[in-house]
Structure 1
Amino acid sequence: MPLSNVRILHEDAAVLVVNKPTLLLSVPGRAEDNKDCLITRLQENGYPDALIVHRLDWETSGIILLARDADSHRELSRQFHDRETEKAYTALCWGQPELDSGSINLPLRYDPPTKPRHVVDHELGKHAMTFWRIVERCGDYCRVELTPITGRSHQLRVHMLSIGHPLLGDGLYAHPEALAAYERLCLHASMLSFTHPVSKERMRFECPAPF
């Protein structure tokens, strides 16, 4: 598959920073028809050494960091594990929160009966924390900046749902009005900051949301 609308934001001998479009897997899925993905497209189109460091959901667009050798991959993976990276997401959420900012500290777990959904579970869930801030209020919805402190699956989507403000266009968690309000999931990884594994320079990349 061609790179198509995968945009290269930065490349050097150790790292690759790209803007992943919506409706593209980060890595191959288990099913035979889910082999097309970001890492495969990159490896087949000039970046055979690309190694995935972290992932975004199929419907989530935005910044993804990849390594280009084993040592860089090990160091960048450590930074994510030790929470030395900084991430911010832009989202459109249904409704108008009373406050302009806040934090959500609710444990999450995968819920097999409603696969692939995740749920809040105070007994069996894993610690998850998100900070949110209103950027703009727009009638029935608002534009928010979301900063995840942890990196649980579907964390931002479930956390915003838990306070009554599901993401627009979210086929898994939004109620009918919020789902119909936009033709795609309104979640975009808009900022990523990390320390370069070789130069040790602190690097920051921003990529505006397409919605």
Structure 2
Amino acid sequence: MNHEIKQWQWRVTEAYQDERLDKVIVQVGEDWSRSKVQKWIQEGYIKVDGKQMKSNYRLRVGEEINVTPPVQREGDLQPEAIPLDIQYEDDDLLVINKPRGMVVHPGAGNRAGTLVHALLYHLQEGKLSSIGGSERPGIVHRIDKDTSGLLVVAKNDHIHQLLAEQLQQHQIKRIYWALVQGVLPHNIGTIDAPIGRDPMDRKRMAVINRNSKKAVTHFTVRERLTEHTLVECQLETGRTHQIRVHFKYIGFPLVGDPVYGPKKRSALIEGQALHARELHFVHPRTSKEMDFLVEPPVEFMNLLEQLRKK
């Protein structure tokens, strides 16, 4: 079945004055690659104030960018009766506590059993936003498969766009707990290091200066153990694998991380010990402060207890 992606709109702010059109779309868009964005610009799917521009067009404050991606021809996603831990739900959005081991949306090698499949079962057809495309209905932001915790899902395009703008303007507060290897000497700190695709392995991310995006993680030590540290992390930006990459970069990889940890992995937990514990945002329709906190899952807490005993 064909799935039409509705129009995506964004107005240029002072922060993006005189920046290249393609660069800005990659930064503020829905995780589109630069090559895809440049192709869409060339083919007229991206316009500025209703006009087709070139990729290197320099933006001006107040201009409106419109993106209408081409129709995708993809297989229908089938709803699946997978239980959801719903922390909040109204006519506009849901807040979900995602379990470890669940992939957020379909992709290569994950065509079933995702959060999206569960949402399609929970909600009637057409009750999720379409901005993210047919493979990612409702998904405003993601967390990795083995990362547990809170994320917000949009039921309509208007709310999705407003939540996306809050993300872009760093108005959504996301706080994680992570168990890292080694004893961090600093009580608080900020890791400000750009992240991009690892040129040696395109499936991994890395701190790299070329073809990268700004990435900032703030952290506070919650507890020091004999050989490990429990840290609380607040994301200022939301790059792929950001916390995992940043702590590897400073020499304190996450316990159990199969990609960025040491080759000899911890037998104490399957996958990285990372939990999205708090989520704070303003409801786009009611302007109400929305505050959520869920403690880490039992396997995370069991691991923490084992490390305390060591």
For the aligned pair, the TM-score class normalised by the smaller chain equals: over 0.9
2:182 corresponds to: 95
How far has the Cα of 1:178 moved from its partner?
5.4
> Which of 34, 40, 46 matches 2:123?
46
> Which of 215, 219, 224 matches 1:132?
219
1:2 corresponds to: 81
2:77 corresponds to: none
2:89 corresponds to: 11
Q: Which amino acid aligns with 1:188?
A: H
Is structure 2 residue 106 aligned with structure 1 residue 21?
A: no
Q: If the length of structure 2 is used for normalisation, what is the TM-score?
A: 0.64
Q: Which amino acid aligns with 2:104?
A: S
1:37 corresponds to: 114
Quote the Cα distance in structure 2 between the aligned partners of 1:44 and 1:168: 34
Given the superposition, is the C-alpha separation of residues 24 and 112 from structure 1 closer, same or farther in structure 2, using an over 3 Å criterion? Answer: farther
> Which of 244, 254, 278 matches 1:191?
278
2:152 corresponds to: 65
How far has the Cα of 1:113 moved from its partner?
3.7
Higher share of residues assigned strand: 1
Does the 8 A contact of 1:128 with 1:155 survive in 2?
yes
Q: Which runs of 5+ in 1 are unaligned?
A: none
Quote the Cα distance in structure 1 between the aligned partners of 2:198 and 2:247: 17
Quote the Cα distance in structure 2 between the aligned partners of 1:105 and 1:16: 31
Does the 8 A contact of 2:89 with 2:95 survive in 1?
yes
Quote the Cα distance in structure 2 between the aligned partners of 1:160 and 1:81: 23
1:150 corresponds to: 237
1:174 corresponds to: 261
Report the count of equivalent residues. Answer: 209
Bigger relative contact order, structure 1 or 2 (CA pairs below 8 A, ≥6 apart): 1
Q: If the length of structure 1 is used for normalisation, what is the TM-score?
A: 0.92
1:75 corresponds to: 162
Q: Give the superposed CA RMSD.
A: 1.6
How far has the Cα of 1:139 moved from its partner?
1.5
Does the 8 A contact of 1:171 with 1:179 survive in 2?
no
Quote the Cα distance in structure 2 between the aligned partners of 1:114 and 1:126: 17
Quote the Cα distance in structure 1 between the aligned partners of 2:271 and 2:167: 27
How far has the Cα of 1:125 moved from its partner?
2.2
User: Residue by residue, what CA displacement relative to the aligned partner does 1:72-128 show, whole Å, maximum 9, x if unpaired?
Assistant: 111111111221111100110001011111111111111254242111112332111
Quote the Cα distance in structure 1 between the aligned partners of 2:124 and 2:244: 32
2:204 corresponds to: 117
Does the 8 A contact of 1:94 with 1:178 survive in 2?
no
- Report % sequence identity: 33
How far has the Cα of 1:62 moved from its partner?
0.6
Q: Judge which range, 177-186 or 51-60, deviates more.
A: 177-186
How far has the Cα of 1:60 moved from its partner?
1.1
Equivalent residue of 1:22, what SS?
A: coil
Quote the Cα distance in structure 2 between the aligned partners of 1:43 and 1:13: 15
Does the 8 A contact of 1:26 with 1:37 survive in 2?
yes
User: Residue by residue, what CA displacement relative to the aligned partner does 1:116-158 show, whole Å, maximum 9, x if unpaired?
Assistant: 2111112332111111111011211111101111111111001
Quote the Cα distance in structure 1 between the aligned partners of 2:242 and 2:124: 30
Quote the Cα distance in structure 2 between the aligned partners of 1:47 and 1:24: 21
Q: Which amino acid aligns with 1:189?
A: A
Equivalent residue of 1:116, what SS?
A: strand
Does the 8 A contact of 2:258 with 2:265 survive in 1?
no
